[in-house]
Each structure stands twice: as C-alpha cells, then as structure tokens.
Amino acid sequence: MRNQSHTRSIRLGCIGLIAAFGLGLGPGPAVAAPGATPVGGEQLTGKGKIVNLGQGSDPLPDVFAKTWVVANADTGEILAAKGPHILRSPASTLKTLTALTLMPQMDPEMLIKAKKRAVNTYGSKVGLVRGRDYTANDLFYALLLPSANDAAMALAQGAGSIKSTLAQMNELADSLGALDTVAKNPSGLDAPGQVSSAYDLATIGRTALTLPYLREVVATKKHEFSNKKKSKTIYTQNRMLLGDFKGTIGLKTGYTTKAGRTFIGAAERKGTTYVVSLMGIKEASASAAEKLLGWAFANADTVTPIGVLGQNTTAAASSALVAQTTETQSPADAALAAVPTNTVTAGSNLDGLAIGWMLLFAAIIAFILFGVKSAFTTRKNRNRLTNKGKVSLEG
C-alpha cells in the first residue's frame, strides 16, 4: 500500500508539474518566436537606427535617447526608428494607456472618493485627501498634466478595482498590437515586469489621439483642480506644449530612476499629424521630440516607411473606443473590434508554440513515470529475494 501511495504521489506531482508548465506557456505577455517577423514589419529589429532615406532626404537628426519611433499618426506609417521593440520601463507614459482604458467608460462628472491606497502612493501627486470626493474629470486632468500617481490609483479604484483596471489595460494593449507592453500598476511607477517599447508607446499614443476627450486634456496647459472645500491650479509638465513648436498637440511625459526620461508627443500641420515616442532620453525630452517631429514634417515625402504602427486610426476606431461605455463591451473588446484586418497581430503562432512545449513536457513526464514504475518494481522484487521473511520497506 505504501508503494502504491508513493507512486500515486509522484504521479500527482508530475501531473501538477505538467499543469504548471502548461500555465506558464499559456496566455501571457506576447513574445515573438525566435526568427519571427517583429510586430509592425520585418525591418523593425535590432538596436540601431532604421530609416529608408530617399533622394533629397535630410539625414536623421542627432537624438540622444536609447530607443525612439516617429510615425504618421493618420496612416500609422513609421518613418524612422531606433530599437523600436527594445523593452524598457515606460514610467508615466504608461498613464496614456490608463487614460485610454478608463476615459470611455467613466462619466467625467462621476464622483470618486479618495481611498487610503491612492492617497498613500508615492512619487508625483496632486494631493488627494482621504475620504474626499473628486470628479473623474479633475482626476484625468491630474493624471495627464502634473502626472499625479494618486490620481491614477483613484481612477483605477473608481472604475472597479486596480486589479480589474490592469487587466483591461493589458487586454487593450494587446488588442492594439502593443504586444511589448505589460502594465503592473496604473501610474507607471517602476515595478518588476512592467515594460513597454517605443513601438508600443507610439501605437498607444496614436490611438489616444482618436479620443477627443483625451486629446483635449493632453493639449491643456493648466486646469483648476477642485473639491468641495478648495481648488488649485495644476499645470502640464510637457515643455513641448509650453514652447513654440508649431502644431503641438501634446501627450505625455515620464520619468523614474529606472526608466530615465520617457516621452510621447504629437503635432499637426496642414492636416497631417505625426507622433513620436522616446525612451531612455539623455537630453531635454521636448528637444528630442521636436527634432524628430520637425524632421518628419520636412522629409515625409522623400522617405520610404519602414513599418506600421499596430492600431489603425480611423473614425470607426474612435467610435468603437467611445462605445466602451456599455456594460457588455469592455475597452479591450471595443478596441479589438476596431483593429482592421491588415493590422499586424500575434497569437496563433504563440498558441502553437505553447502547445508544442506542453506536448514535449508531457512526453518527458511520461518517460519519468515509466522509469519510476520500473525502478519500484525492480527494487520490490530484489527485496523479496534478499529479505526472506521480512517486511519490505516498500510493502
């Protein structure tokens, strides 16, 4: 009986091991298989600069950043990039995804009570007071102008919970084709496993521009933030918006010790909008962004695009995102429905890879079980021969 119990335990443990491997290889942060075409196009690889200059094109400006992407926000065509899929901490540029996820499902006049976890968060804050009510509108302005981490937490809690908000953020990122992004908190504060890429930030920024409400907020220089007792003026941190760069729309700044400076910016001239994203910036963020955007406006007609951003910006996409206010449609579902058929996505290849690994581990475990059973049988027979009249330890 002890032998059977021991064998059963081993079998259960092996089954658990198979299940664990299966779960580990199941749905999670999407990662391209070795040799697979990067999301957005086959040229979007490596750490260096990528550009197809045509006759008469100006050379790329010197931009001091680890990674960056500059693209046409209307068509999604990427004009140039540097290390577009390199994973880095996003810092507060992740708040763009937070806003993109929550804005369509929250009434701006909705009252949200500040809770302990939001009030006690660290870093940049607007100064929420525990127990006081704030409108979602004021919290969105605090989220995107002074980059308030307490506002990010309060909005996530007001939408249901931080956990559910993060699930929606990650689902929305995946549906947009931003497969490098993994959100671990709604504020962008450094957290283990929280990453994004210049490609993803440009994709998220491009989609954010399709929401009129979000676009209005990020283009604002100052806002009166209030509650029932007092109000105060809050200001944008986006120096590009405060400067004189022609056509600036604004978007989102970011900084943490781990991420360094990060930035998503956009500008529109003569009916054409360009979006830029930068990570690991080693100069003034606004200066770096303006150099790339200025180059894009001057050279778009002579440069051959190197790839495309994941989400197609169309009126239909904007309408679908706004329609997320219905109870039956999540932000990820609406955004997924808005993705056109020619959008580069990932999934089927990864599912096949996971199934293959599971089958391989199942075969290995089956072999181990067979070996264990054979070993027990051999040992039991040997004990019977050598220990006549005695009780075997396996008996």
> Which of the residues are catalytic?
92, 95, 147
End-to-end CA distance of the chain: give it in Å, rounded.
6
Radius of gyration (Cα) for the chain, nearest Å? 26
d(CA 102, CA 26): 27
What is the distance, to the nearest Å, from the Cα of residue 108 to the centroid of all Cα atoms in its chain? 24
The three-state secondary structure class of 338 is helix
Sign of CA dihedral 117, 122, 124, 130: positive
d(CA 351, CA 182): 19
Q: Which two tokens stand for residue 171?
A: 């689902």
For residue 218, which of 68, 119, 69, 100 has the smallest C-alpha distance?
Answer: 100
d(CA 193, CA 91): 12
Q: Which two tokens stand for residue 350?
A: 């990864």
Helices in 243-347 by DSSP H: which ranges? Answer: 285-299, 315-322, 331-338
Q: What is the DSSP string of 131-178?
A: T-EEEHHHHHHHHHSS--HHHHHHHHHHTT-HHHHHHHHHHHHHHHT-
For residue 137, which of 20, 226, 53, 27 has the smallest C-alpha distance?
Answer: 226
Sign of CA dihedral 99, 105, 110, 112: negative
Give the distance between the most distant pair of CA atoms in the chain.
98
